[in-house]
Homo-oligomer: A and B are copies of this chain.
């Protein structure tokens, strides 16, 4: 991540020529104009991302789950203890998490990256060891980490994205596991969008309603320390998380490398908000996989100008919602590739009134 003016590579604009070619190609396919709805816009978008028309059909999607712990859990941010992060990393390593199952359905590989779990994970088969520090400090009491650590975590994400593409991945899906991480996600979304913490704080993984006000206060205390506008690296260090920083680097690298990528729920969207500040144009290359039930997700989607493909009332994280959108990306490209031209000139719809 040495190229580009700052920390990360710069992101090129979408390829307008490939997008125009995709629009023209749709207009001559054997269907009523626009009848495939959002699949058509999706294929146009992927043409812009890859610079190819039709965009290549995704063959090797890679799901990367970044895992880390959060000091703010000690302040009551979550219904679950931090130990669950390590337990869920072990569940993923065993192929028995939700994301393991969904990845099988879409034919994706799952890679788990320890970027900051509190418990040891080195004994677990296949968990990439990229730990920057064993969890953050509580964002309710001071900076989550140093700027140097935030930069390291960004680099972990960027490096892993590059490694996955080098290994053959043609679509990147970012996921996360980190008990307590809806709290820094809410803080980041509030800080970037200016939304009130009330609008972005939700129950996460099941915080009882009577504890929501306290969670909001944690977010308010964190955000209150920030100057606005805040440098994105400072944002990550002050109120972020290690897996969130890694996801931000992952997205910037995918965007810079013309690789399609699918964004998941509220944590992933918080990371994309920061990624877009780090490298302008990153969000314009994203595909929003789903609308998470966590309220901050909708705030971030609106801020980023993204309309998600799925809305299934999911709020699990791990990359599950983004993973489920992968067949839709494939379908968009496959249809634009395979569909015949209009069967014959006589099949053109008559002009109105004739």
Taking the closest CB of chain B, its distance from the CB of A63, in whole angstroms, is: 13
Which residue numbers of A lie inside 8 Å of B, CB to CB?
A: 29-33, 35-39, 79-81, 83-84, 87-88, 90-91, 94-98, 100-102, 104-106, 205-206, 208, 210-211, 293, 309-316, 320, 324, 327-328, 330-331, 334-335, 337-340, 343-344, 346-347, 349-350, 352-353
Q: Are B84 and A337 in contact (CB under 8 A)?
A: no
Alpha-carbon distance between A343 and B311 when the two chains are bound, in angstroms: 28
Q: Are A35 and B205 in contact (CB under 8 A)?
A: yes
Alpha-carbon distance between A33 and B80 when the two chains are bound, in angstroms: 12
Q: Are B320 and A83 in contact (CB under 8 A)?
A: no
What 9 A-B pairs are tightest by C-beta distance, nearest first? A37-B313, A208-B352, A96-B340, A87-B343, A37-B314, A35-B316, A101-B338, A32-B205, A79-B349
Contacts of A35 in B (CB 8 A): 98, 205-206, 314-316
Q: What residue in chain B is nearest A90 (Cβ atoms)? A: B343
Taking the closest CB of chain B, its distance from the CB of A62, in whole angstroms, is: 18
Alpha-carbon distance between A94 and B324 when the two chains are bound, in angstroms: 29
Q: What residue in chain B is nearest A30 (Cβ atoms)? A: B91
Contact of A102 among B32, B206, B312, B335 (CB under 8 A): B335
Q: Knowing A35-B315, A101-B338, A312-B39 touch, does A346 contact B81 (C-beta < 8 A)?
A: yes
Alpha-carbon distance between A32 and B353 when the two chains are bound, in angstroms: 58
Q: Are B313 and A97 in contact (CB under 8 A)?
A: no
